[in-house]
Chain A
Amino acid sequence: MSEEFFIKEFPNGLTLLSQPMSAASSAALTILTPAGASHDPADAAGAASVAAEWHIRGAGDRDTRQLQDALDELGSHHSEAVQSEHIHFSSVQLGRNLADVIAIYADILQRPQLSDASFQPSRALALQDLASLEDEPARKCNLLLTEKFFPYPLGRCVYGSQETLQSLSADVVRRHISALVSPANTILAVAGNVNWDELSTLIERAFGDWSGQAGPTIAATDQPAGITHLQKDSAQTHIALAHRSVPISHDQYYAARVAQTVLSGGMSGRLFTEVREKRGLVYHVSCRHQGLKDTAGMFTYAGTRPEVAQQTCDVTVGELRRLTEGVEEHELERARTQLKSALIMQGESTSARAAALAADWYHLGRLRSLKEISDSIDNVTTRDVTQYAKDWPAENLTALVIGPKTISTN
């Protein structure tokens, strides 16, 4: 598979990235705008979630319905997601409709209507999303763990709290949007059926006059480790654990990815083998690597019946810690194959490629080729993985437990 990347940095701070893919008929668009939840003022937590919903309720000359209908007419599959650093807009459609979709997003970002009438329902939906978490304990467990684990407020729950959402006013969110949604540090990536010359001219025309300053950087504070138990009369005890890892820019990053794959790649991973296959303690157990720009964590989750929750936690933590004793050559080889296969298979998806381009630019300030990633994976040795595990051990765990009774992580 030959890869060709294009990069253009505009004077107003916007970066355009593109990867044409000859076999694709679709073109995927990803926009990362630095107005994520960690920027929410403390007394206005949830502002970014409301802002993301409010942004698509009318922009330019189109009201909510006209905007939605225009995207539908173009066969756009779009979503708005709030993350720690960014609001992430994405839309995938046939390549021939890309230009029209970009024109709509130019309105959404630069000329959102943000009308009083559409504020109240945007906020009401955020409140309902927050309430829905009560009926999804596994998701709630992982969201709250992220909030407790990362330096505050980098991992803060994107929905805020009932109090902050209810007190949010349209003016507060408007000011927040105008301070943060700007071309400075915004990344726009397109992958798939796209021509670079046409795309860069189009973006120049649609976003070239956009102006605005970068928002302030966030001061984050480390939080103490420890266990938080939320009492709930649930059928399962939900156990989520986190410990420190390295971000993508760190030289141990690929060792971290191999370590995570040895623990949790496929059904032969150590966690699945020991916790589910040998002991039948869970249906779901897994571990994932989640990175922000300057910090990262290994997040482990297991859902189990309360009577075996302590045993499940003991076996799970035992496996996380056993990694310091080393990994076998065959485990490393399997992990390499899994990581590289996944890379190639994800490379077939235009949406996955657009998101990867934008993420690379944000985390590294450059784009990684398939070959660079593949070589980096190949270069990881068993010693590297062991050293990584020793440098970043599963000690001082941050834990979030939802269920009838608590457990111990020691």
Chain B
Amino acid sequence: MKFAEAQLDNGLKIVAEVNNDAASMAAGFFVRTGSRDETPEIAGVSHFLEHMIFKGTKRRSPMDVNREFDEMGANYNAFTSEENTVYYGAVLPEFQTRLLDLLCDILRPALRPEDFDMEKNVIQEEIALYQDRPHYRVYEALMNRHFTGHPLSNSVLGSAESIGQLKRDDMQRYFDRRYSPGNVTVVGVGNLNFEAFVDKVGQTCSLWQPYDTMRDLGQPGDSRTQEAIADGKVTREHIGMMSPGPAAQDEARYAAELAATIVGDQTGSRFYYALVEPAIADEAHLGYTPLDGTGAFMAFVSADADRAAEAVRIARAELKRFVDDGPTDAELQAAKNKIASYATLRGELPMGRLTAVGFDWVYRRQYVPLAKQIDTLFAVTKQDVHELARRCDMTATTVLGLGPLESL
């Protein structure tokens, strides 16, 4: 395992973790932009743009793009969040240069009006699809309430109305501002040739014009609302709970990851024993979400409507007990083993390392080998975790229910 980095004159950064024992390689373009970088008039443009990136360039039609990915047998896709848009592909090593040729090219899309209009229908379908998923609706509404007044409250998908009104030229302007080379990191992992990698990326991407890009990094306010959205079409009560956590740039993220695992891992956690094991809820987990300049703990619980209020009470009590008393030695040790084991398993696949290496760079401008991250994790003490839980006040939650209930 070997780390390498390079930078083009226009500011585009290239980082790679080379592992010549791997059977495949993966490459990703990490663009530091998402719904938090949108204004209300263009809500949903980051995600819509992600779709348009696959719609061709000056020298490729939309069908060319799809066909070429598939001709390499690539495993490829893209995703958009509140603060990142990531395009990636994994291929056998022999396709390295072809994959990069394609990725570099599509990152300067034609945005043809006819493709824009056709893809708008697909985005509307995607919005409808998520309307049938209460899990996602809770996530979106919870982010909206917890980050009220802050750009992190913006919906990634936007709304049927905002997408309906969006113009092709609005997207072009957003693209010009956000896809500047200084705002993009190209990441390679697995069995790749770094010199050829940099040459290929340089050939196309050194022509990209730099612009100044900004992000509003203001801190969110304090939210502790509790609310239930009654919807008779939803069968079970889906509950989200959210409290502040350390930022992606904060070393306390290791302690936060441990706290989330102890309190709310899918198996063997305090939530599991208090809620799932006795079948009060069929799902109850808590995760840590590191964000740019801030962070959060998010819990999701789903229960029969007649036990939902009880489930919320129990979840709150478990959070309070954790903030009051901290973890036990045994819990801390088990959580460390679980996280280290999971990271190792993911690390065996290039696709598993891609986002880890990519986000290490996007958020912290650093590369940390997996073994060193695991050492850091194992050095976290019981006091560190307890101190973090108190400092963040994991009991200071925004609570939101979606389902049959009028109130929780």
Contact = CB atoms under 8 A, between A and B. Distances in A.
Interface in B250-291: 267-268, 272-273, 276-279, 281-283
30 contacts: A25-B344, A68-B272, A71-B267, A73-B333, A73-B334, A73-B337, A75-B337, A76-B341, A77-B345, A78-B267, A93-B341, A94-B341, A120-B279, A121-B277, A128-B236, A128-B304, A134-B235, A134-B236, A135-B234, A235-B132, A236-B125, A236-B128, A277-B62, A334-B71, A341-B91, A342-B75, A344-B92, A345-B92, A347-B23, A349-B348
B338 interface: yes
A348 B23 contact: yes
Interface string A116-135: 00001110110011011011
A348 B122 contact: no
A129 B69 CA distance: 38
B66 A272 contact: yes
Contacts of B134: 135
Contact of B121 (A122, A280, A337, A350): A280
A243 to B, nearest CB: 24
Given A23-B21, A282-B125, 4 more contacts: A68-B272, A131-B236, A337-B71, A342-B75
B340 to A, nearest CB: 7
A391 interface: no
Interface in B45-65: 54, 62-63, 65
Contacts of A351: 345
Contacts of B67: 268, 334
A328 to B, nearest CB: 12
Nearest to B281: A128
Q: Point out which of B70, B74, B282 has the most chain A C-beta atoms below 10 A from its C-beta.
A: B70
A115 interface: no
A268 B23 contact: no
A348 B348 contact: yes
A265 interface: yes
Nearest to B234: A135
B360 interface: no
A25 B57 CA distance: 42
Contacts of B72: 337, 341
Given A94-B344, A303-B125, A72 B70 contact: no
A144 to B, nearest CB: 16
A235 B70 contact: no
A342 B73 contact: yes
A284 interface: yes
Nearest to B134: A135
B337 A74 contact: yes
A108 B338 CA distance: 20
Interface string B295-334: 0000000111000000000000000000000000010011
A23 B24 CA distance: 13
A283 interface: yes
A134 B72 CA distance: 39
B63 A341 contact: no
A234 interface: yes
Interface string A337-374: 11111101101111100000000000000000000000
Contact of A265 (B70, B118, B345): B70
Interface residues of A, number: 74
B186 to A, nearest CB: 21
A272 B281 CA distance: 38
Contacts of B135: 135
A26 interface: yes
B268 A280 contact: no
B133 interface: yes
Contacts of B120: 280
A116 to B, nearest CB: 15
Contact of A345 (B54, B90, B281, B283): B90
Interface residues of B, number: 69
Contact of B235 (A1, A64, A131, A282): A131
B22 A77 contact: no
A132 B282 contact: yes
A276 interface: yes
A338 B71 CA distance: 7
Contacts of B340: 75
Nearest to A345: B24
Given A74-B337, A235-B132, A280-B121, A348 B73 contact: no
Contacts of A136: 133
Contacts of A281: 121, 125
Given A94-B344, A235-B129, A348 B349 contact: yes
B354 to A, nearest CB: 13
A146 B281 CA distance: 27
A342 B76 CA distance: 11
A348 B22 contact: yes
A57 B337 CA distance: 21
A340 B94 CA distance: 13
A310 interface: no
Contact of A24 (B128, B133, B276, B348): B348
Q: Which 3 pairs of residues, A with B, have the shortest CB-CB distance? A: A341-B73, A75-B341, A280-B121
B238 interface: yes
A322 B333 CA distance: 58
B302 to A, nearest CB: 7
B140 interface: no
B165 interface: no
B377 to A, nearest CB: 12
Nearest to B121: A280
Nearest to A403: B132
Nearest to B73: A341
B125 A305 contact: yes
B126 interface: yes
Interface string B4-30: 000000000000000001111000000
Contact of B23 (A120, A278, A284, A345): A345
A194 to B, nearest CB: 14
Contact of A121 (B63, B236, B279): B279
Contacts of A57: 277
Q: Point out which of A76, A134, A348 has the most chain B C-beta atoms below 10 A from its C-beta.
A: A348
A256 to B, nearest CB: 19
B131 interface: yes
A77 B342 contact: yes
B233 interface: yes
A93 B121 CA distance: 44
Nearest to A193: B348
A138 interface: yes
A267 interface: yes
Interface in A224-277: 233-236, 238, 265-269, 272-273, 276-277
A307 to B, nearest CB: 11
Nearest to A343: B73
